[in-house]
Amino acid sequence: MSPDTKKSKATLINIDVTGALKFRAAAILAAAKAGESPIRVIAADIQHHLGSQQVNAMVGRMIREWLGPTFKVVGRKKWPREHGTESGAIYAQVG
């Protein structure tokens, strides 16, 4: 894959994840407050991107940045997917 293709793909992922974060903001925040994994809320919207460690880590980082400093990662939780399982960070509200 050429560097231009990788850059374009990353841009598409960023656009899709940012859109999912905006569209499902209330549900993501509710999941984080309830001790559920926020990525599970948007996984169906971005499932075509998920799968590689690099992409999964980037999505997790984007969610952490979106939640901001009032949440900290306290663990991980797995859930079943169509093909295997997925896991995502769970958060606790601080301060």
Q: How does pLDDT run across 43-62, given as a tens digit for each residue?
A: 889 988 888 888 889 999 99
- Count, residues in the chain: 95
* Radius of gyration, CA atoms only, the chain: 13
Taking the whole predicted model, whether its pTM rises above 0.85 is answered as no
Nearest to 39 by CA among 5, 68, 67: 67
Question: CA 70, CA 62: separation in Å to the nearest integer?
Answer: 15
Q: How does pLDDT run across 80-94, given as a tens digit for each residue?
A: 777 667 789 999 999
Strand partners, 81: 84
Residue carrying the six token digits 């926020």: 38
Question: CA 31, CA 37: separation in Å to the nearest integer?
Answer: 6
User: Please, which pLDDT band fits residue 9 given cuts at 50, 70 and 90?
Assistant: low
